[in-house]
Amino acid sequence: MSKLSIEEVREGRVMEATFWLNPVDGEKFRFRATHLDGRRAPKVVLSDDARITPGTPCRIRVKKIHKKDRKHRGWIEVEFVERVSFEPDGVYLDPVVSKKLQVCLESGLNILLDGPQGCGKTVLARAIGQALGMELVFFNCAAVVEATDFLATIQVRAGEGGAPVTDFVKTEILTALEAANANPGRRYLVFLDELNRCQESARNALMPALDSSRRVFDPTTNRFLEIPDNVLFIAAVNRGSEFSGTFGIDAAQLDRFAPIQMTYLPPEEEERLLAGRHPELGKKVIHAIVDLADRIRKMSDLASGLSVRATEEACIFLKHPLFEEDRWSALPEILKSSFCGRFSGAWNDTTTDAGAVWLVIERALLEE
């Protein structure tokens, strides 16, 4: 996203920001922000207004721009106007879940997003990072085999004369933790995706990182690395018998997180989301896609659910010029792959999950 120009941040303008405690010792301003209206500010944003709550989005008024003409100097001084609710773009949150999430963010708690596949966990993490002006560090835990893999992986390369040489290669997490220690004024969101796809023994390496110890063993230096307060951890899991290659999360590991339960969007919210992304399709087509998805999600005998990615995929197919002339006639064939293809079996075999899903689609289309 583009950076604001100094001309866009004029005195008296009301904008939105999220503040954190100022890490600079001796600084007279207690609160510090780096983004305004979701874009990086041209200068650091500072305030000493006691009405500001760290980690809570608020509207502010620009009081004064100090050293406006100095490119790498100065600051933007602001005052509090009003608090705003946390509503990340492109993501639906139940009102109660939204409030719980905001409390977790304000309190600096580690967050565990728990919900079915494709319900928006990764999208939510990205939206949080963007809304709060944090640098998102995405890490897929499915690649972790050994405990050290969270911070570094062992790579073998050919050295001089062809002799094998072993190197530690830093992961995105280690790079971010080093940057966070070096830049206390910037904030980092470490997103641990698919946390339960690595074994419990490997996850134990993260235990001291997630509790009050706030440190983790760095295999590249053979020392513990301190984790500063400007790092937030969010993890995501898919739990259930339908997921292969997953491992249980014991009570001690779960206790390091504040769990947030997520689920699929209500039909009306999913329609609104898809209509915003794919206005070419029109309300009737989008309503039909979402209605069918909702019927399938309510089928209790299916081994797994139908993700929001499936409805998104169907929209992407249908709005393509190749299907533009007659979207309605193309819809059944699209859904055979985008919906039925996400379940076991074949769409024309009614004894399988895919076949059961096709029966629901077929009957619903006949009602149209």
Pairing type for strands 164-170 and 223-226 reads unpaired
Q: CB atoms < 10 A from the CB of 121, how many?
A: 25
Beta bridge partners of 211: none
Q: What is the pLDDT of residue 89?
A: 64
Task: List CB contacts of 82: < 8 A, sequence separation 6 or more.
Answer: 58, 59
Q: Is residue 134 within 8 Å of 189, Cβ to Cβ?
A: yes
Q: What is the pLDDT of residue 240?
A: 52
Token pair recorded at residue 195: 């946390």
Mean pLDDT confidence for 300-325: 87
Q: Is 1 helix (H, G, I), strand (E, B) or coil?
A: coil
Token pair recorded at residue 349: 């075999």
Q: What are the pLDDT digits (tens) for 347-361?
A: 999 999 999 999 999
Out of 88-102, 115-129, 324-338, 352-366, pick the least confident. Answer: 88-102
Q: CB atoms < 10 A from the CB of 155, how many?
A: 10
State how far the Cα of 86 lies from the Cα of 97, in Å rounded to an integer: 11
Res. 242: pLDDT tops 60: no
Q: What is the pLDDT of residue 158?
A: 72
Mean pLDDT confidence for 41-52: 93
In SS3 terms, 93-111 reads as CCHHHHHHHHHHHHHCCCE
Mean pLDDT confidence for 142-163: 82
Res. 51: pLDDT tops 50: yes
Res. 134: pLDDT tops 90: no
Model confidence at 245, pLDDT cuts 50, 70, 90, reads very low
Task: List CB contacts of 300: < 8 A, sequence separation 6 or more.
Answer: none
Query: Percent of the chain having pLDDT more than 90?
Result: 49
Res. 1: pLDDT tops 60: no
Q: What's the mean pLDDT when you consider all of the chain?
A: 87
Q: What are the pLDDT digits (tens) for 274-296?
A: 998 899 998 999 999 999 999 99
CA atoms within 13 A of residue 67's CA, in its CB half-sphere: 10
Mean pLDDT confidence for 135-149: 90
Beta bridge partners of 39: 36
Return the CATH fold of 6-83. Answer: OB fold (Dihydrolipoamide Acetyltransferase, E2P) (2.40.50)
CATH architecture of 95-261: 3-Layer(aba) Sandwich (3.40)
State how far the Cα of 193 lies from the Cα of 142, in Å rounded to an integer: 8
Q: What is the pLDDT of residue 353?
A: 93
Q: What is the pLDDT of residue 244?
A: 45
**DSSP letters spanning 118-138:** TSSHHHHHHHHHHHTT-EEEE
Mean pLDDT confidence for 161-177: 85
Q: What are the pLDDT digits (tens) for 60-116?
A: 999 999 998 888 789 999 999 998 877 666 667 778 888 888 888 878 899 999 888
